C-alpha cells in the first residue's frame, strides 16, 4: 500500500494537520496515547508514519491544484485581453468612443499608446568593456568557500566583516518509507488498532 493509495484518514492525521504552537501539549498527549497503547510496535510505527506522511499527499495535491489554478488564471487573463482588443476593434469600426451603462459606469475606447522600448544587441563587447561599461561584483559564495577552505584568510579578514552564525534545528522525526511496495504491511483496521 503506497501513501498515495492510502484512502484511510486517521484521527491522528487530522490532529497533526491542526497542530500549531498553541496546542503542542495536546499533540504530545496524542502521541503518548499511541506510544503507550498495547498495540505492537509495528502497528504503532505504521499508524504514526501514515498519519504524518498523509500530509505529504495533501501538500502534493494542493501544489497540483495551484498549478492548475495558475493555468486557468493565465487563460482567463488572456481571454480578457482578447475580449478587450476585439471590443476595441469593433467600437472603432462602429465609431463608438464611449458607452455608458446603468450598472457599469462606462466603457471607453482608448487609442493605442506608443511606448518606446529599446532593444540592444552588442556587436563589439571588448570595445564597450574598454570604454568602462563593466559591472563587477564580488562573488560572495566563492569568498565564503575560500574562507571555509582556509584560503585567502588574511585577505578576507582585511576586506570583510565576518560573522559565523550557528543555528540549531529542533529534534524532528524522519519517516522512512519502504522502497518495495510488496513489503508494506497494510493495516487491517484503521483507527481502532492504534488507539
Domain boundaries, the chain: 1-113, 118-162
User: Does an H or E element contain 146, and which?
Assistant: helix 140-148
Q: What does each of the 195 residues of the chain score in pLDDT, given as a tens digit? A: 344 445 567 888 988 998 889 999 999 999 999 999 999 999 999 999 999 998 988 999 999 999 999 999 999 999 999 999 999 999 999 999 998 888 889 999 988 877 777 778 889 888 888 888 888 888 888 888 898 899 998 988 888 888 888 877 776 667 677 776 544 444 444 434 444
pLDDT at site 156: 86
- Angle CA 6–11–12, to nearest 5: 90
Question: The C-alpha cell of 187 is what?
Answer: 493495516
Measured from the Cβ of residue 87, the count of other Cβ atoms closer than 10 Å reads 14
Q: Are 46 and 187 in contact (CB under 8 A)?
A: yes
Amino acid at each position: 500500500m503506497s501513501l498515495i493509495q492510502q484512502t484511510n484518514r486517521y484521527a491522528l492525521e487530522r490532529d497533526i494537520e491542526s497542530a500549531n504552537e498553541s496546542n503542542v501539549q495536546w499533540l504530545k498527549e496524542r502521541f503518548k496515547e499511541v506510544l503507550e497503547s498495547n498495540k505492537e510496535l509495528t502497528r504503532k510505527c505504521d499508524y504514526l508514519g501514515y498519519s504524518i506522511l498523509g500530509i505529504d499527499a495533501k501538500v502534493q495535491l494542493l501544489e497540483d491544484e495551484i498549478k492548475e489554478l495558475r493555468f486557468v488564471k493565465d487563460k482567463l487573463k488572456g481571454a480578457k485581453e482578447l475580449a478587450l482588443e476585439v471590443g476595441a476593434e469593433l467600437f472603432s469600426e462602429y465609431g463608438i468612443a464611449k458607452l455608458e451603462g446603468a450598472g457599469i459606469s462606462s466603457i471607453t475606447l482608448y487609442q493605442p499608446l506608443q511606448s518606446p522600448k529599446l532593444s540592444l544587441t552588442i556587436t563589439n563587447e571588448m570595445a564597450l568593456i574598454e570604454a568602462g561599461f563593466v559591472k563587477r561584483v564580488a562573488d560572495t559564495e566563492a569568498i565564503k568557500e575560500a574562507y571555509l577552505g582556509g584560503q585567502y584568510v588574511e585577505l578576507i579578514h582585511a576586506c570583510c566583516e565576518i560573522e559565523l552564525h550557528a543555528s540549531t534545528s529542533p529534534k524532528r522525526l524522519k519517516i522512512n518509507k519502504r522502497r518495495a511496495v510488496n513489503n508494506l504491511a497494510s493495516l487491517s483496521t484503521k483507527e481502532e488498532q492504534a488507539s
